[in-house]
């Protein structure tokens, strides 16, 4: 039987707010398998970004296990989580998060340099071809449209061939048509590489590319069948 790429086992995440403790995730459990695209839906403040941060090793749970390719990242020291994340996980953010002082090519090359793979420039140029922006390789982010910036962010997330892509509202800062184009590109690039992706979103368009839909409800991760969706 195929092993999950991601397993959350009884994960709880709580924060102290003044005199009270707020629980965002409460013994949440889920398995996500290689090659799946999972849409994570839920109202604002329900814990979608918290889930991505915990799976991505940006934050540690209060309790429970977070297994990525059978590695318990919840039990790692912060430095080890950082190195693991840098090597095996790609992130796509709503606001692109490109470095303004770097060119398009340099932004995409950055994950390779952080992993001491800076000599793989051909890999960067191939990806820029894939996203239709090779001719903009020497441009700076402020010279690009929002859709172009997000395409560069997709390339940056994929260039080091991570096991897992985590996308937090990747079309939330784009107009409708551009958002659909970026989403289709993201879906194509991820599936071509046979990778796993979790997308936290409010957009119903994401549901069209998702293999599974999961919601955050009262601190739990709950599978949603499409016929149950409004």
- Domain residues for the domain of 111 are 36-60+84-225
Residue at 27 is within a domain: no
pTM of the model: 0.92
Q: Concatenate the DSSP letters of all residues of 59-122 into one string.
A: S--SEEEEEETTEEGGGS-HHHHHHHHHHHEEEE-TT----TTS-HHHHHHHHHHHTT-TT-HH
Residue 2 confidence (pLDDT): 81
**76 inside domain:** no
In a domain, 103, yes or no: yes
Say how many domains are in the chain.
1
User: Could you tell me how many residues make up the chain?
Assistant: 230
Q: What pLDDT does residue 204 have?
A: 83
What is the per-residue pLDDT for 230? Answer: 58
> Does residue 97 belong to any structural domain of this protein?
yes
pLDDT tens, position by position, 137-186: 999 999 999 999 999 999 999 999 999 999 999 988 889 999 999 999 99
Q: What percent of the chain has pLDDT over 90?
A: 77
Residue indicated by tokens 């969706």? 229
Instruction: Quick: pLDDT tens for 66-105.
Output: 999 999 999 999 999 999 999 999 999 988 899 999 999 9
CA 137 to chain centre: 24
Look at residue 44 in the predicted model and tell me its pLDDT.
Answer: 81
* Ramachandran sector of residue 218 (left: φ over 0; alpha: ψ -120 to 50; beta: rest): left
Query: Region 43-48: what's the mean pLDDT?
Result: 84
Residue 1 located in a structural domain: no
DSSP symbol at 198: E
> Look-up: residue for tokens 């897992």?
164
Q: Is 65 within a domain?
A: no
- With respect to residue 210, please indicate whether it lies within any of the assigned structural domains: yes
pLDDT confidence bin for 38, thresholds 50/70/90: very high
Structure tokens at 218: 């009262």
The answer as to whether 17 is a domain residue is no
CATH number reported for the structural domain that contains residue 209 in this entry: 3.40.50.300
Task: Please say whether the beta carbons of 224 and 215 come within 8 A.
Answer: yes
Mean pLDDT for the stretch of residues 187-212: 92
């Amino acid at each position: 039987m195929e092993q999950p790429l991601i397993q959350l086992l009884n994960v709880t995440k709580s924060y102290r707010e003044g005199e009270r403790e707020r629980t965002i995730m409460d013994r949440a459990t889920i398995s996500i398998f290689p090659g799946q695209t999972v849409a994570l839906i839920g109202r604002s403040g329900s814990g979608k970004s918290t889930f991505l941060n915990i799976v991505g090793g940006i934050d540690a749970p209060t309790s429970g296990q977070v297994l990525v390719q059978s590695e318990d990242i919840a039990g790692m020291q912060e430095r080890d989580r950082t190195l693991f994340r840098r090597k095996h996980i790609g992130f796509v953010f709503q606001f692109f998060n490109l470095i303004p002082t770097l060119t398009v090519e340099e932004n995409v090359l950055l994950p390779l340099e952080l992993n001491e793979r800076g000599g793989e420039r051909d890999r960067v140029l191939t990806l820029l071809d894939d996203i239709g922006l090779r001719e903009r390789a020497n441009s700076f982010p402020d010279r690009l449209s929002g859709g172009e910036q997000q395409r560069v962010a997709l390339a940056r997330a994929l260039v080091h061939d991570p096991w897992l892509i985590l996308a937090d509202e990747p079309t939330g800062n784009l107009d409708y048509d551009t958002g659909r184009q970026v989403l289709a590109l993201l879906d194509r690039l991820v599936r071509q590489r046979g990778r796993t992706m979790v997308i936290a979103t409010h957009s119903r368009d994401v549901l069209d590319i998702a293999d599974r839909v999961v919601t955050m409800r009262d601190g739990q991760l709950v599978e949603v069948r499409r016929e149950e969706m409004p």
